[in-house]
């Protein structure tokens, strides 16, 4: 048996995990391929037929939606696509490939798509190329339906540590939360959307482990230290004992902090910082005590969409949002409108391939292009918000025109609900995320049009520094403690206070206790953090004074380098024993 070996990587999410590994070998967006035993071919054909049915249902839903919005003529393309999926010769061709080649359904469908495109590619003319797309697009829906459930079917039962080539949201969400012990990956950004998810789940996670997958076998025992950024392969009995002792001490400290986590985060000299949580799913309520939080500062609604095989209806969204609001009542809940794009894709919504998706079609840009999606979401949210403290947050805002356009849609949806006899709250605050640098220079015109602002530091940092946080070649340049970032944060707080508008930070910067103290000193009213960090943030605020936090802010703003900022924060961490 190979002796134990420790691999050093980059810490993404703290915590300790010990257990068997499940290797997710497919790279992001790649079509998974595996051989199928002869006796399993009928089950694979059943998977194919279920996926065709799911794709057909989704196409029918789109057909009806477009018919309602723009008329039957525009909706006809979806009827054609459904007919293509009902073509017995094409279905028979895929099933024959499953029997003859004994491959998985994804591979067989992918081969059919390639064949359809290859057959017509040499021919000239836009009409021919359009016809080629008409033939292959419905089968892409089938492929998406297959890949949406494939990961879950392969993992089996029991708790696991997931290993992947690249850390992606699909990897993080590929098994049920209660089964996920930890995550390790060869590559992935420390501040990527997937990393945000891992921290939100409180799951130990390490990335930056080149060649990891070649050293692993399914079921191999791993010991993951998310805080130190290490992964130990096949730990010895002695190492396991030491690991368990360290985990017991960590859990004891967390239990001690949790004892006072329900108390407000107030300083001894009258200062205060609201501390809310970021959530992705109703299941997040299982990992934190609602009495510890001042509310939900960010509900990432896109993950409610990602957990489904098709767009959730208005009624489905209403029920989801109502359950979130009721669980937190009477505390506020901030629902962010659909924020897809980049590495957050819906398997049933085909978005364009983009050279630079971080600067592409995402966030509010998608909502303003597909306004029916936004209207359905706002209708569901406003219906759910009756008698509750609901707030709406707009992502990826870049201009006053976008805010005004969204406000018109919001007002129209509200008026429509009232005309139809629905009860709607008279005052539902609408805020914007500060992520795009242009907003920093338009706050004087934007603040009168909104009710609050929330800084999404994860994207703001990458845009300010021109660093794609998902690009491993430059991710080391992604630095939240850059003096430009700190000064931008100070300007947002100052402008918001002058306008009398609440301001908060909901990005990962706020997860750090010392940085949370800094944000209070800069003038922020609140922060919203992953549930795992909530007790630490409250403890840090109670252990300081507002005067000390303001002194820290002045000291950090005077720094000219990243290292200078980090030194100032390190002193605070040492004082707080973090």
Provide mean pLDDT across the span 192-220.
84
Out of 64-68, 194-198, 436-440, 489-493, pick the least confident: 64-68
**Average predicted confidence (pLDDT) for the chain:** 87
- Residue predicted with more confidence, 258 or 347: 258
Evaluate if residue 149 carries a pLDDT over 70: no
pLDDT at 342 over 90: no
The arithmetic mean of pLDDT across residues 302-329, rounded, is 88
> What's the pLDDT band for 271 if we cut at 50, 70, 90?
very high
Task: Output the pLDDT for position 544.
Answer: 95
Q: Is the model's pLDDT at 125 over the cut of 70?
A: no
Give me the catalytic one of 22, 81, 110, 193: 193
> May I ask the CATH class of domain 38-154?
mainly alpha
Is 241 buried (19+), middle (13-18) or exposed (0-12) by CB count in 10 A?
Answer: exposed
Q: Is 193 a catalytic residue?
A: yes
> Which of 234-238, 354-358, 451-455 shows the lowest mean pLDDT across its residues?
354-358
pLDDT of residue 129: 40
Residue-by-residue DSSP string for 417-470: HHHTT----S---EEEEE-SHHHHTTHHHHGGG-SEEEE-HHHHHHHHHT--TT
Catalytic annotation present for 481: no
pLDDT for the residue numbered 248 = 92
* pLDDT digit string, tens, across residues 291-309: 999 999 999 998 778 767 6
pLDDT at 577 over 90: no
Choose between 468 and 156: higher pLDDT.
468
Most confident of 64-78, 148-162, 207-221, 479-493: 479-493
- Predicted pLDDT of residue 152: 42
**Given pLDDT bands bounded at 50, 70 and 90, which one contains residue 463?**
very high
Domain residue spans of the chain: 5-27+159-253, 38-154, 264-576
The active-site residue, picked from 205, 299, 503, 506, is: 506
Report pLDDT for 133. Answer: 47
Residue 325 has pLDDT above 80, yes or no: yes
Q: What distance in Å separates the CA atoms of residue 208 and residue 110, rounded to the nearest whole number?
A: 31
CATH topology of domain 5-27+159-253: Glucose Oxidase; domain 1 (3.50.30)
CA distances from 183 to 10, 167, 210, 281, 284 (A): 12, 8, 15, 19, 18
CATH of the structural domain 264-576, one choice from 3.20.20.80, 1.20.1630.10, 3.20.20.60, 3.30.428.10 = 3.20.20.60
């Amino acid at each position: 048996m190979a002796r134990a070996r420790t691999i050093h990587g980059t810490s993404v999410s703290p915590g300790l995990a010990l257990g068997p590994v499940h290797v997710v070998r497919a790279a992001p967006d790649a079509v998974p391929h595996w051989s199928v035993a002869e006796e399993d071919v009928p089950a694979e054909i059943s998977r194919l037929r279920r996926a065709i049915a799911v794709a057909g249902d989704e196409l029918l839903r789109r057909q009806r939606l477009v018919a309602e919005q723009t008329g039957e003529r525009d909706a006809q393309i979806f009827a054609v696509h459904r007919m293509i999926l009902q073509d017995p010769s094409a279905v028979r061709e895929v099933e024959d490939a499953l029997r003859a080649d004994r491959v998985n359904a994804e591979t067989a469908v992918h081969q059919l798509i390639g064949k359809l495109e290859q057959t017509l590619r040499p021919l000239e003319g836009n009409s021919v190329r359009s016809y080629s797309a008409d033939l292959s697009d419905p089968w892409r829906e089938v492929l998406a339906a297959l890949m949406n459930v494939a990961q879950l079917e392969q993992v089996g039962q029991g708790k696991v540590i997931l290993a992947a080539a690249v850390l992606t949201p699909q990897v993080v969400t590929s098994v049920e939360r209660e089964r996920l012990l930890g995550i390790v990956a060869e590559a992935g950004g420390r501040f990527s959307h997937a990393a945000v998810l891992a921290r939100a789940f409180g799951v130990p996670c390490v990335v930056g482990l080149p060649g990891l997958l070649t050293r692993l076998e399914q079921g191999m025992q791993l010991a993951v230290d998310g805080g130190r950024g290490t992964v130990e392969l096949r730990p010895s009995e002695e190492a396991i004992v030491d690991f368990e002792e360290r985990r017991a001490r960590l859990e004891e400290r967390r239990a001690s902090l949790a004892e006072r986590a329900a108390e407000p985060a107030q300083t001894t000299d009258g200062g205060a910082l609201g501390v809310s949580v970021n959530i992705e799913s109703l299941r997040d309520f299982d990992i934190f005590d609602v009495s510890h939080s001042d509310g939900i500062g960010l509900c990432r609604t896109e993950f409610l969409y990602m957990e489904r095989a098709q767009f959730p209806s208005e009624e489905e969204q209403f029920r989801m949002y109502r359950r979130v609001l009721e669980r937190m009542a009477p505390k506020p809940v901030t629902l962010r409108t659909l924020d897809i794009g980049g590495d957050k894709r819906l398997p049933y919504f085909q978005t364009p391939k983009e050279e630079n998706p971080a600067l592409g079609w995402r966030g509010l840009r998608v909502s303003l292009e597909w306004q029916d999606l936004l209207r359905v979401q706002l209708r569901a949210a406003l219906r759910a918000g009756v008698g509750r403290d609901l707030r709406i947050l707009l992502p990826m805002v870049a201009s006053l025109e976008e805010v005004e356009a969204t406000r018109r849609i919001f007002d129209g949806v509200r008026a429509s609900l009232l005309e139809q006899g629905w009860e709607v709250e008279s005052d539902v605050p609408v805020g914007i995320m500060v992520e795009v640098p242009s907003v920093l220079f338009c706050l004087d015109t934007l603040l009168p049009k909104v009710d609050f602002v929330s800084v999404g530091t994860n994207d703001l940092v990458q845009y300010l520094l021109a660093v794609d946080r998902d690009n491993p070649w430059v991710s080391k340049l992604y630095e939240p403690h850059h003096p430009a970032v700190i000064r931008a944060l100070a300007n947002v707080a100052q402008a918001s206070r002058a306008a009398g508008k609440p301001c908060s930070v909901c990005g990962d910067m706020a997860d750090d206790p010392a940085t949370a103290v800094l944000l209070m000193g800069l003038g922020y009213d609140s922060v919203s953090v992953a549930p795992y960090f909530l007790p630490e943030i409250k403890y840090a605020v109670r252990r300081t004074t507002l005067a000390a936090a303001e002194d820290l802010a002045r000291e950090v703003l005077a720094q000219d380098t990243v290292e200078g900022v980090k030194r100032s924060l390190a002193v605070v961490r040492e004082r707080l024993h973090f």
